[in-house]
Amino acid sequence: MNWISWVLPVLIALPLVGGVLAGIITSDRVRYTLVTLLAVLIAAGGIGVVYLSTLCDNGVWTMQAAPWMAHVGVGLELAIIAVILIVALKIKNWWIALFGVLQIAGVIGGLFIHGEHGSFELFKIDNLARIMLLVSCCVGAAILIFSIGYMHNHQKHAPEGAGSLQRFYFVFLSFLGLMIGLVVSSQLSFFSFFWEGTTLCSYALIGQDGGKARSQNAVRALLINSFGGVLLVLGVIVLKYQTGGETFNELFSKTDATIVAAVLLAIAAFTKSALFPFQSWLLGAMVAPTPVSAMLHAATMVKAGVYLVMRLMPNYQGDTRVTMVVAFAGAITFLGGALLACTQSNGKRVLAYSTISNLGLVVACAGINSPLAYAAGLAIISFHAISKGLLFLCVGRIEQEIGSRDIEDMDGLMFKMPFTSLMILIGMMSMLLPPFGMLLSKWLAIEATMRSPFLLIFMVLGSALTVYFWAKWIGRIQHTGYHPVLPKEEIPRTMKIALSLLALMVLGTGITTMLILTNVFTPMAETVFGSKGMLSETANFKYGALIIFGAVAIFGVLHYFICWHGFKREWVRKPFLCGENVTTEEVEADSEVRSYDFHSVGGKIEHSHVTNYYFLGIINEKLVTGCLNWAAWLIILVLIGNTVSYTNSKNQLAKDTAPAVKSVQKAGKSAASDLGNFADSIKKEAK
């Protein structure tokens, strides 16, 4: 598989070099052509690398490197941290500067710890890396194509002080290249370089449009992720001190000794994936242009955190005191994110809380540490990326057209923007209806928690709340009067192509959900846990999704012909609202937009307004967030405490058993000596 040794570095370098070219090119037409070409090459390259890697022995491809490459990784790591430190000094944020200094000190200090001298594993592509590569390359490519039309319109109305398109595409493409490098890195210095690179790019992209609010949110993202970077470096130092190496292989070779390093890396992953109490940076990132939000939530950045947790947890199956706490950290984020999403009318914030919730669900699945839960986690990462990418792009398109991202302003959207409405409805239905993968994934996650009733409560409540906030949004888009003819929506070609591609991915994975589960995710989980046949019962439902999807398709066709094609305008009647309806001429010209007006007592005009329910006065977002943050910090403290107690108990056990081990060793040596003497005597007698 020497081809991968050439293709993979090119795949990583392609968006990085493309970003530099996009930053240099001044012609918009040439730049858009370059971005389109890069999107196609990145998608094709990602699929090609994934396919070639499956042909390797045991389905795992690795690239070995010479010892001096470790110094290259350290140099790159120090360089990217130095850039972050310079940014911190420029914006005069001393906390970020402190974190930068601690990271640099940690990396330099790690050089004085005795390390390995042989070659090491630089890149590795296994099943988990393949999933992440497909997500980053395919969904990322679609977002790149969408950004062409979006940013062209966005730049016309961008606020004063906004960054140029050259700056945007330089950082945006680099962001994607760094994510590709992250998911295939096995050497932790290179992993840390790509990790910090995504942090720096997110800061630049969130602050793309300038202004005080965007700058504050960009700084918050940099601050929280820099704190995670300190934990990552500290985890690598602990690992190097304990094993002498700094690759994932060393991390998993002595799981009892490396549990402290693994926990530090897991908490660093919490910051990157915006789990409670670190979720504020991701909510603040919604001020960025929509392609940035989509890339952060669907294809890169936050997926890096759950990727690391999914990489770590299966190797610590025996440490249930640690893994179950990780599961509860994910579960509280799953429930809390879903609850707060129900209180939001801002479409982007609903999507943000939904993303946080689903990331928590992936972490919970990783912490449960069973083949079923692991398969569910892989499925959620995959299906969520496609659906959420589609949803973010649709909301961005809607915001550009109607000037608002508020759900209440999307009333009658089906007859204002029919194509975009159809796309967003496909995306939302894929998050909660059969036979789409997200519903099946959550069912698997609930099934995996049956042996933990307390954890099961979090899963069930979170899933129920998910249905609520998606269903009411679906209803709002379709809430409108009768229109005999749908208008033709004018939409840029690149936007239409990107939305169509993602919608086809959603529908394609929906039709084949059970086939993907039984033929892809199930074997992957069984390989990780070494438990062949444990999930074989899912094969009995292999064609269940096809039957359900067929039934849904038939229902859709019948619905169209009965309710739309054969519908007559004279069937439409205005609702009776406790009085005669007010005609259009009777409503003041300067009045606000209202759903229905009617005459009440004395001919008084009453105004009725139909709206979704957001638990106003019942659920206080600030109060609930504060409670969830405290609970999440408590869980993190418990996680650290369990790790310390586990390590102490192991050390104490070693001390207690040391005399017995020594006596056994002495007895063994004595027995060996006696046997040797006996053998010598036998030889003498034989002579």
Residues 77 and 178 in one domain: yes
* DSSP state for residue 485 in the 8-state scheme: S
Top mean-pLDDT range of 108-122, 308-322, 586-600? 308-322
Integer Cα distance of 159 and 164 in angstroms: 11
Is residue 352 scored above 60 in pLDDT? yes
In which element (H, E) is residue 123 found? strand 120-125
- Residue 231: inside a domain: yes
Which residues, 6 or more positions from 656, have their beta carbon under 8 angstroms from its beta carbon? Answer: none
Which of 182-191, 416-425, 493-502, 658-667 comes out lowest in average pLDDT? 658-667
Give the domain-ending residue among 271, 291, 316: 316
Which range marks the domain in which residue 20 is found? Answer: 1-316
User: What's the average model confidence in pLDDT over 61-76?
Assistant: 88
The predicted model scores a pTM of: 0.89
- State the pLDDT at residue 660: 47
Give tens-digit pLDDT for 169-201: 999 999 999 999 999 999 999 999 999 999 999
- Residue 279: inside a domain: yes
Which of 523-537, 579-593, 635-649 comes out lowest in average pLDDT? 579-593
Residue predicted with more confidence, 633 or 490: 633
Answer yes or no: are the C-beta atoms of 43 and 141 closer than 8 Å. Answer: yes
Is residue 116 scored above 90 in pLDDT? no
Burial per residue of 345-381, b for 16 or more beta-carbon CB atoms within 10 angstroms, e otherwise:
bbbbbbbbbbbbbbbbbbbbbbbbbbbbbbbbbbbbb
pLDDT band, residue 219 (cuts 50/70/90): very high
- State the pLDDT at residue 322: 86
Give the domain-ending residue among 316, 344, 379: 316
Residues 495 and 347 in one domain: yes
Q: What is the DSSP string of 593-612?
A: P-SEEEE-GGGPEEEE----
pLDDT band, residue 571 (cuts 50/70/90): low
Residues 259 and 339 in one domain: no
Residues 69 and 105 in one domain: yes
- Residue 454: inside a domain: yes
Percent of the chain predicted with pLDDT > 90? 49
- Residue 50: inside a domain: yes
Residue predicted with more confidence, 598 or 216: 216
- Residue 167: inside a domain: yes
- Classified as helix, coil or strand, 67 is coil
Is residue 534 scored above 60 in pLDDT? no
Residues 375 and 512 in one domain: yes
Residues 324 and 299 in one domain: no
Residues 402 and 283 in one domain: no
| Mean pLDDT taken over the chain | 84
Is residue 653 scored above 50 in pLDDT? no
pLDDT band, residue 115 (cuts 50/70/90): low
- State the pLDDT at residue 610: 74
Residues 202 and 255 in one domain: yes
Integer Cα distance of 517 and 506 in angstroms: 15
- Residue 515: inside a domain: yes
Residues 174 and 227 in one domain: yes
User: What's the average model confidence in pLDDT over 141-146?
Assistant: 95
Is residue 389 scored above 80 in pLDDT? yes
Integer Cα distance of 340 and 354 in angstroms: 9
- State the pLDDT at residue 242: 84
- State the pLDDT at residue 510: 86
Answer yes or no: are the C-beta atoms of 245 and 115 closer than 8 Å. Answer: yes
Is residue 675 scored above 50 in pLDDT? no
User: What's the average model confidence in pLDDT over 487-503?
Assistant: 90
- State the pLDDT at residue 540: 47
* DSSP state for residue 61 in the 8-state scheme: E
Give the domain-ending residue among 296, 316, 336: 316
Number of domains in the chain: 2
Residues 285 and 340 in one domain: no
Give tens-digit pLDDT for 31-59: 999 999 999 999 999 999 999 998 887 88
Residue predicted with more confidence, 536 or 273: 273
Rg (CA), the chain: 28
Of 184, 135, 179, the residue nearest 385 (C-alpha)? 135
- Classified as helix, coil or strand, 435 is coil
- State the pLDDT at residue 139: 94
- Residue 57: inside a domain: yes
Is residue 481 scored above 70 in pLDDT? no
- State the pLDDT at residue 395: 94
Q: At what angle do helices 522-529 and 371-402 cross, to 10 degrees?
A: 130
Answer yes or no: are the C-beta atoms of 386 and 505 closer than 8 Å. Answer: yes
Residue predicted with more confidence, 331 or 157: 331
CA distances for 279 relative to 34, 176, 217, 291, 354, angstroms? 35, 22, 12, 20, 12
Residues 69 and 147 in one domain: yes
- Residue 463: inside a domain: yes
- State the pLDDT at residue 235: 92
- State the pLDDT at residue 668: 47
- State the pLDDT at residue 51: 92
Residues 387 and 496 in one domain: yes
